[in-house]
Chains A and B, each alone.
Chain A
Amino acid sequence: MSPPLDDGIDGGTSPRAGAGNGAVGGIRFDLKLIADMVEPGSRVLDVGCGDGALLAYLARHKGVDGRGIELSMDGVHRCVTQGLSVIQGDAETDLKDYPAEAFDYVILSQTLQAMREPRTVLQSLTRIGRRAIVSVPNFGYWRIRLQLLLTGRMPVTEKLGYQWWETPNIHFCTIKDLVSLTEEMGLTIERCLIVNRAGRITGHAHSGFANLLGEQGVFLLRRT
């Protein structure tokens, strides 16, 4: 896969946590990275699907049979109104209902760090889906490290623009942390894209440089 590098400025107003790196072909760059990992014609569950931008893109460009779960009523209304199959619900309580391998892919974009029990969620994702696609902001990114080091205060960045007392992001991790959790859980990382601030792929999951230079990571996971 060769991700487009000439991404434009993000003009979208998606409610998804953590803005991406510009919009490509109608969807945000980070969502496009996820979309490119999905095989055409597959069955997809998008957890925390926001306004349905990714689901709509997957349906239109990849002929995907897509479903979504979204917490916010506004998001659900926007999805169902455009003909997407989306339910209003909470991923942490609703995922347990789905049978094993009900989907080819289960997607969790920029939301793992906001979950009460990320490990349990990760387990559900890889149980329900033959594969899970998970994208996370990297708390090991050098600007974040530098902010903490120099100012001695919790980092607030463009992408993670919350004060510590108001942030929904309660379980931050670094790329390295996530890689080690997947190992501990016996998950296989089939693919991993580490993306820097300019939206360029910077390296692989196990590289220390990636953990320093990458602003976010996109993981394609499956049970071993």
Chain B
Amino acid sequence: MPASNPAVALPADAAALPGYRVTLGVDRPMRLDSGAELGPFQVAYQTYGTLNADRSNAVLVCHALTGDHYVLDQHPITGKPGWWEMLVGPGRPVDTDRYFVICSNVIGGCMGSTGPKEIDPATGRPYGLGFPVITIGDMVRAQKLLIDHLGIEKLFCVIGGSMGGMQVLQWAVAYPESVFAAVPIATAARHSAQNIAFHEVGRQAIMADPDWRGGNYLLEDTRPHRGLAVARMAAHITYLSEPALHRKFGRNLQNRQSVTYGFDADFQVESYLRHQGITFVERFDANSYLYITRAMDYFDLAADYGGGTLSNAFRVDGRGTPVRFCLASFTSDWLFPTPESRAIVHALNAVAANVSFVEIRTDKGHDAFLLDEPEFHQVIRGFLEGCAEHRGLTARRQPR
């Protein structure tokens, strides 16, 4: 268990982070789903590749719960490689020699975009729990303002996994005229009761930490590291699968020959989880974790856009959505299992939308979308190439 260390600085001082940062909602604050207003606010983002002359080759990558906009860069805090280098980059399926890739930190996040740890201009102090509750719809609304700011009328593709996939669906439903192709991966059109339950465990762990201080830990110079680490440990289990855990750790002991008859990390899997928890708190803000998990819990496309029927959410002017979809799920993912994707496919079929759907065989669980899954990558490459042809994008530039 990581010891609480009040001396640890804020996770990432926004101004010091690499990448771009733009102030939006200046003329008019952004109205949130809760009814509250936010603005002006900052959005931190990164871009890769070159926008073509007719601005038709932009791909928006949407990150997951604890992700950020460093898709290809070495992470400024952890030093780890970009989180989606497997899929995005020169010559990769989302080819940065061909597409202009944009990724922004979600609002409510803690890597440069406005969130609970940033300073509220109204008070001069960190927002903390004074930050308005945000939704997936609000995150996408902010991204739309960013895309408008960049002068892009229509995105060639919006792609993302998990919570990123929710944003992809939200984009396709809220701005169908601004999206040519949508690739929601390992996701769902609504957050399930089981997933809300897991999130609640994580939030309670944070709020039960005395160092959380009712959300005011930044002012009181403490950090709820123990609570946040436990939240991360619980969540991390849901990203894996039993076979993957067994393959990786089994019941192997950690640097010892026999069990110690105590509560030290006897097993490798315990040690691994503790490590996941400890490293996470260095890069993530506890209040952001509360806000972003809440946004996922509230996500329900059918309720918000379809009057309870998902297919209605995919109707545009009485017709099926013009957006071309490609969905992918993974056989061992029990957090966003295949039936969740299939429900979206069925809803898209009901409006005769253009949809591809592939279930990938893997034992790597939910995290598979971030990992080396050649079959998955081939599918994404093929789908995007097909779309590029329809969109009239020229063939890939010569490899560098």
Interface residues of A (CB under 8 A from B): 65, 67, 73, 76-77, 79-89, 94, 97-99, 102-103
Given A76-B358, A83-B383; 12 other pairs, CB 8 A cutoff? A65-B354, A67-B355, A73-B361, A80-B326, A84-B356, A85-B324, A86-B356, A87-B357, A89-B342, A94-B349, A98-B349, A103-B352
B347-387, CB under 8 A of A: which get 1 and which 0? 10111101111110100000000000001001101110111
Docked-complex contact B349 and A87, CB < 8 angstroms: yes
* B346 within 8 A of partner (CB): yes
Of the candidates A65, A77, A83, A87, the one whose C-beta lies within 8 Å of that of B355 is: A87
The DSSP consensus for interface residues of chain B is helix
Of listed A79, A83, A94, residue having the most chain B CB within 10 A = A83
Q: Which residues of B contact A87 (CB under 8 A)?
A: 345, 349, 355-357
A6, B189: Cα distance in complex, Å: 52
Q: With a CB–CB cut-off of 8 A, which chain B residues contact A73?
A: 358-359, 361
Chain B residues within 8 Å of A98, by CB: 349-350, 352
Nearest CB of chain A from residue B156's CB, rounded to whole Å? 14
| A80 and B379 within 8 A (CB) | yes
With A81-B381, A85-B324 given, is the CB distance from A99 to B354 under 8 Å? Answer: no
Chain B 291-333 interface 0/1 with A at a Cβ cutoff of 8 Å (1 = within)? 0000000000000000000000000000000001010000000
Of all A-B residue pairs in the complex, the 5 with the closest CB atoms, nearest first, are A83-B386, A81-B382, A102-B352, A87-B357, A97-B349
Whether A88 touches B346, Cβ cut-off 8 Å, given contacts A81-B379, A83-B383, is: no
Residue in chain A with minimal CB distance to B361? A73
Residue ranges of B at the interface with A (Cβ–Cβ < 8 Å): 324, 326, 342, 345-347, 349-352, 354-359, 361, 375, 378-379, 381-383, 385-387, 389
In the assembled complex, which residues on chain B have CB atoms less than 8 Å from the CB atom of A84? 356, 386
Q: How far is the CA of A2 from the CA of B180 in the complex (A)?
A: 40
Q: Which residue in chain A gives the minimum CB-CB distance to B386?
A: A83
Q: Which residues of A contact B326 (CB under 8 A)?
A: 80
Q: Which of B349, B351, B354, B389 counts the most A-chain CB atoms under 10 A from its CB?
A: B349
Nearest-neighbour CB distance to chain B for A68, whole angstroms, equals 9
A-side contacts of B356, CB under 8 Å: 79-80, 84-87
The reply to whether B385 and A83 form a contact with Cβ atoms under 8 Å apart is: yes
CA distance A88 to B355 in the complex (A): 10
Within the complex, which residue of A82, A88, A102 is in contact with B386, where a contact is CB–CB below 8 Å?
A82
A94 near B379: Cβ-Cβ < 8 Å: no
Q: Taking the nearest CB of chain A, how far is it from the CB of B280, in angstroms?
A: 34
Specify the chain A residue showing the minimal Cβ separation from B378: A81
User: With A97-B349, A98-B349, A98-B352 as given contacts, are A88 and B383 in contact (CB-CB < 8 Å)?
Assistant: no
Which residues of B have CB within 8 Å of A80? 326, 356, 358, 379, 382-383
Cα of A6 to Cα of B375 in the assembled complex, Å: 38
**Alpha-carbon distance between A86 and B358 when the two chains are bound, in angstroms:** 8
Contacts of B342 in A (CB 8 A): 89
The answer to whether B349 and A85 touch across the interface, beta carbons within 8 angstroms, is no
On chain A, the residues within 8 Å of B347 by CB distance are 97
Q: A88-B358, A89-B345, A99-B352 are in contact. Are A83 and B324 (CB under 8 A)?
A: no
A59 to chain B, nearest CB (A): 9
Q: Which residues from chain A contact B387 at a C-beta distance below 8 Å? A: 83
CB distance from A222 to the nearest CB of B (A): 18
B393 to nearest A CB, angstroms?
13
With most chain A CB atoms within 10 A of its CB, the pick from B351, B355, B358 is B358
Q: Which residues does chain A contribute within 8 Å of B358, judged by CB atoms?
A: 73, 76-77, 80, 88
Assuming the A-B contacts A73-B358, A76-B358, A88-B359, are A83 and B382 also in contact, with contact meaning beta carbons closer than 8 angstroms in the complex?
yes
- B contact residues around A77 at 8 Å (CB): 358, 375, 378-379
A80-B383, A85-B354 in contact; A94/B346 too (CB < 8 A)?
yes
In the bound complex, do residue B346 and residue A99 qualify as a contact, i.e. CB atoms below 8 Å apart?
no
By beta carbon, the residue of chain B nearest A59 is B386
Contact partners of B345 in chain A: CB under 8 A: 87, 89
Residues of A within 8 A of B350 (CB): 97-99
A117 nearest CB across to chain B (Å): 19
C-alpha gap A123/B354 in the complex (Å): 23
- Least Cβ distance of B309 to chain A in Å? 12
Q: How far is the CA of A79 from the CA of B383 in the complex (A)?
A: 9
